[in-house]
């Protein structure tokens, strides 16, 4: 049921064999590691050709500078402005399901991917991909090619060596895919930068009115004056590519796991719908103040992504001797934070830790006391900046979907594969049926 990577450790596979490293699974130790060791493990260097060293793979001083600007883009007020867009995108996604209703088991991955990519390109760059299906498909293919080549480098030990990788056909394939990804972000960054400079020159009011502001616009407004800029063009482009990559596969698979878990329990599904009806009525749109009222939906989403964290492992690197509860990790050691194990720890979540039980989130007595016990978004200071964004997006989609359709699936039948990301190999199909009004 878990993952099918080869190797002694089912989830870690060959990567585990490559280096002498520590694996941390206890929330107290995890907190120490993620907050004291901000440096990333060596495998993150494989994403550098794609993402540069600006955020996910950045060295600590650069990361600290850049994270401050990225955090500005995810303030609650800006996120609230996204909700209208999330509702619209969710409605469109649900419309596309009409052809799947009553057709037996269907794979929703392609439709979820399109919806998430269009949304994140809008919120990151402020670009609307509607009607640009070919471009959308090419961009998705290029992103997928990049991610699969990069993760192969970790799981095919011979490709870790740069000279061997550079001679391989994967290198050429990566370069071609990167061309497509970079072309899009490069052109958009230049366009937005020019518009921003024109606004500055005309002394236009930069205060934003109506709609939402893209991540790129927020960063430009806060980092660029007529004469100075914190970021050069490549850094800006890299930062935007980091945002797209970080939001892309993660949200796609978490969305899928949430729907599969909901489809696995008719009682859970009925309770979510009851709550939606009582908070929003039959067709009122989700508003930001409703999010705190949808407590059961919140519990269901968190429970699904606790059980199936799309990034089951993250890696850090100690620069000093680091004392944990029972052991000291020497300086210059790679450390794996085992998110899957933390999220399913019986010690913290109880003997039913492996079960899908949203109710546990509703009772403080059944919840672990330690914050790091729920690690899906990566605990600590270098954790996910898009956590609230992702949860809002997933909830908006579930609200639109369950109002119209009943879904059936079985998360216990899923077979998963872990190659950096936890992906379903089989058993993830969903049945969709129209709900009676
Ligand atoms: C449910 C979906 C998501 C999950 C499970 C998730 C999970 C994570 C995790 C585990 C990390 C830490 C990675 C590491 O240390 O190696 C991370 C980092 C990050 N995430 Fe997410 N993420 C999700 C969605 C998003 C979205 C939608 C965005 C942006 C809109 C985003 C932006 C980022 C960024 C920029 C980082 C790097 C932060 C830094 O290095 O300071 N994520 N995410």
How much is the ipTM here? Answer: 0.99
Ligand 1 contacts CB of residue 89 (under 6 A): no
User: 215 CB under 6 A from ligand 1?
Assistant: no
> What average pLDDT is seen over the chain?
91
- pLDDT by residue (tens digit) across 378-398? 999 999 999 999 999 999 999
Given pLDDT bands bounded at 50, 70 and 90, which one contains residue 296? very high
* pLDDT at residue 116, rounded to an integer: 95
Classify burial at 213, counting beta carbons within 10 Å of its beta carbon; exposed 0-12, middle 13-18, buried 19 or more.
Answer: middle
Using most ligand atoms within 8 A of CB, pick from 245, 384, 397 the residue to mutate for ligand 1: 384
| pLDDT, tens only, 402-416 | 999 999 999 999 999
**239-261 confidence digits (pLDDT tens):** 999 999 999 999 999 999 999 99
- pLDDT of 87: 97
- 58 Cα nearest atom in ligand 1: 40
In the block, tokens 């729907």 appear at: 259
Q: What is the pLDDT at residue 3?
A: 36
Nearest atom in ligand 1 to the alpha carbon of residue 316 is 15
Q: Which of 52, 386, 392, 394 gets mutated to test ligand 1 (max ligand atoms within 8 A of its CB)?
A: 386
Q: Find the range with the poorest average confidence among 18-27, 84-93, 131-140, 188-197.
A: 18-27
Ligand 1: nearest atom to the Cα of 215: 30
- Interval between CA 312 and ligand 1 midpoint (Å): 12
Dist. CA 383 → ligand 1 center (Å) = 6
Q: Measured in angstroms, how far is the CA atom of residue 245 from the centroid of ligand 1?
A: 9
Q: Is 191 exposed, middle or buried (0-12, 13-18, 19+ CB in 10 A)?
A: middle
| Spacing, Cα 56 to ligand 1 middle (Å) | 9
Q: Which residues of 12-40 are buried (b: 16+ CB within 10 A; e: fewer)?
A: bbbbbebeebbebbbbebbbbbbebbbbb
251 CA closest ligand 1 atom index: 2
**Residue 20 confidence (pLDDT):** 57
Quick check: CB of 243 below 6 Å from ligand 1? yes
User: What does the alpha-carbon distance between residue 216 and residue 233 come to, in Å, rounded to a whole number?
Assistant: 12
Determine the Cα–Cα distance for residues 342 and 146; give it in Å rounded to an integer: 29
Whole-angstrom Cα distance, residue 182 to residue 107?
Answer: 30
CA separation, residue 42 to residues 27, 160, 316, 409 (Å): 23, 10, 8, 38
**DSSP 8-state secondary structure symbol assigned to residue 229:** B
Overall residue count recorded for the chain in this entry: 437
Q: What is the DSSP letter of 41?
A: P
Q: How far is the CA of 201 from the centre of ligand 1 (A)?
A: 35
Strand arrangement of the beta sheet that strand 334-338 belongs to = 22-24, 334-338, 313-317, 39-40
Residue bearing tokens 């794979």 = 107
Output the pLDDT for position 206: 66
Q: How far is the CA of 311 from the centre of ligand 1 (A)?
A: 9
Q: Which of 42, 246, 383 has most ligand 1 atoms within 8 Å of CB, for mutation?
A: 246
Above 90 in pLDDT, residue 209? Answer: no
- Determine if ligand 1 sits within 6 Å of the CB of residue 382: yes
In this prediction, residues 65-93 reach a mean pLDDT of 96
């Amino acid at each position: 049921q878990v993952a099918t990577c080869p190797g002694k450790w089912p989830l870690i596979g060959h990567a585990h064999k490559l280096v002498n490293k520590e694996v941390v699974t206890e929330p107290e130790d995890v907190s120490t590691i993620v907050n004291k060791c901000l440096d990333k493990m060596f495998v993150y260097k494989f994403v550098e050709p794609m993402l540069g060293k600006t955020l996910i793979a950045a060295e600590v001083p650069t990361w600290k500078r850049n994270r401050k600007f990225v955090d500005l883009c995810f303030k609650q007020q800006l996120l609230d402005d996204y909700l209208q867009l999330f509702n619209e995108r969710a409605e469109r996604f649900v419309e596309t399901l009409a052809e799947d209703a009553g057709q037996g088991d269907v794979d929703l991955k392609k439709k979820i991917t399109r919806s998430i990519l269009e949304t994140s390109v809008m919120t990151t760059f402020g670009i609307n991909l509607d009607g640009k299906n070919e471009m959308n498909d090419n961009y998705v293919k290029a992103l997928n090619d990049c991610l699969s080549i990069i993760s192969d480098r970790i799981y095919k030990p011979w490709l870790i060596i740069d000279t061997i990788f550079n001679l391989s056909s994967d290198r050429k394939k990566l370069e071609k895919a990167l061309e497509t990804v970079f072309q899009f972000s490069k052109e958009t960054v230049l366009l937005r930068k020019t518009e921003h400079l024109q606004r500055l020159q005309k002394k236009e009011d930069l205060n934003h009115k109506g709609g939402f502001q893209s991540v790129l616009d927020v960063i430009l407004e806060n980092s660029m004056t007529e004469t100075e800029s914190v970021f050069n063009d490549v850094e800006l482009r890299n930062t935007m590519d980091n945002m797209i990559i970080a939001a892309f596969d993660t949200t796609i698979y978490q969305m899928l796991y949430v729907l599969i878990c909901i489809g696995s329990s008719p009682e859970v599904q009925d309770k979510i719908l009851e709550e939606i009806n009582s908070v929003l009525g039959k067709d009122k749109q989700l508003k930001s103040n409703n999010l705190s009222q949808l407590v059961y939906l919140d519990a269901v989403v968190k429970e699904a992504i606790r059980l199936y964290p799309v990034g089951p492992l993250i890696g850090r690197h100690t620069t000093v001797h680091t004392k944990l509860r029972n052991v000291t990790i020497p300086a210059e050691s790679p450390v794996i934070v085992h998110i899957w194990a933390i999220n399913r720890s019986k010690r913290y979540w109880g003997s039913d830790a492996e079960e899908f039980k949203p109710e546990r989130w509703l009772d403080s007595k059944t919840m672990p006391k330690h914050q790091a016990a729920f690690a899906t978004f990566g605990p600590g200071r270098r954790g996910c900046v898009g956590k609230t964004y992702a949860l809002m997006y997933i909830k908006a989609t579930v609200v639109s979907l369950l109002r119209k359709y009943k879904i059936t699936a079985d998360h216990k039948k899923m077979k998963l594969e872990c190659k950096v990301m936890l992906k379903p190999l089989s058993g993830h199909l969903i049945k969709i049926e129209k709900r009676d009004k």
